[in-house]
Amino acid sequence: MEKLLLLLAFCSLISCKPQLTNKRTQFFPKAELKVKDLPEKENTWVFILAGQSNMAGRGQVEPADTIPHERIFTINQKGEVIMAKEPLHFYEPNNTGLGSGLSFAKTLIKQVPESVSILLIPTAVGGSSISQWLGDSTHRQVKLLTNFKEKAAIGKSLGQVKAILWHQGESDAHPEDIPLYKTRLINLLSQFREILGDKNLPIVLGELGTFSKDTAEWEQINEQIQQYSSSDPYSSVVRTSDLNHKGDNIHFDSKGQRLMGQRYAQAYIQLQKKLTNKPGLSH
């Protein structure tokens, strides 16, 4: 305390300020840019981001992650449409960081018609298990399935919901839950599609990383994810085996999050081409 008081006194003499910046938040956007003129609904492609912390994002945000694109939007905590900057998720302000959403959108926007804008809807909450989603549990002050419905309604009112991006499973990587994961995933993703009114809505799922201290359990969840996707022609899986963690053996680092976003975009593009039998993306 004495050293801090001396530092403050010294700074007051030379008109300086102590550097007390939080490294995690030092490059977070300082202001929101609200979108005044929204595109027509048919020109707004909506993607819902769902799951737990590796979808919400725990990477280090850097200046490049906060550069907006004129055709990429998201929503804030009030449900208002704003220009998309990382971090997109706002449910856990003390934990949130860089996710894969903006990287996904910036990759995809290069391959869609110029008339199309992208709206990202964040619904992921760290530490949430799939049974909590199914039970509409309140987790970290968010009622999971209710919140998904509310945010999905916003997305549907503003544009066309094109896909769900899903990353979850770390909280289910336990011997008693692993055998039930595929069945629970089928149930939950069916509910998502029912909420959105599209039984064939594309869903892109991300694998868990290969850096866990419980490697065998995480790999078993990945096997369940692959089994699910093999039985669902409207889904695809993003590989993550070459991506690294941020030092905690749980969360992808910033490079990994950006690469995962690019892979989500490419997986969605390939899935759409397969489903439409067309060489490119269109309305």
- Residue 195: is it exposed, middle or buried by C-beta count within 10 angstroms (0-12/13-18/19+)? middle
Residue 183 lies in a domain: yes
The pLDDT tens digits for 254-275 are 999 999 999 999 999 999 999 9
Contact 224, 182 (CB under 8 A): yes
Residue 18 lies in a domain: no
How many domains does the chain fold into? 1
Q: What is the CATH number of the domain that holds 51?
A: 3.40.50.1110
The span from the CA of 187 to the CA of 176, in Å, is: 18
DSSP string, 135-191: TT-EETTEEHHHHHHHHHHHHHHHSEEEEEEEE--GGG-STTTGGGHHHHHHHHHHH
Residue 136 lies in a domain: yes
Helix H or strand E segment including 4: helix 2-14
pTM of this structure: 0.91
Residue 141 lies in a domain: yes
Pairing verdict, β 117-122 and 44-51: parallel
What does DSSP assign to residue 74?
E
The per-type count for the chain, helices as H runs and strands as E runs, is 8, 9
**Which residue range forms the structural domain that includes residue 58?**
26-276
Lowest mean pLDDT among 4-13, 45-54, 101-110, 118-127: 4-13
The pLDDT tens digits for 49-102 are 999 999 999 999 999 999 999 999 999 999 999 999 999 999 999 999 999 999
Residue 3 lies in a domain: no
The pLDDT tens digits for 174-187 are 999 999 999 999 99
User: Average of pLDDT values for 205-234?
Assistant: 97
Residue 16 lies in a domain: no
Instruction: Enter the tokens of residue 178.
Output: 């692993």
Residue 21 lies in a domain: no
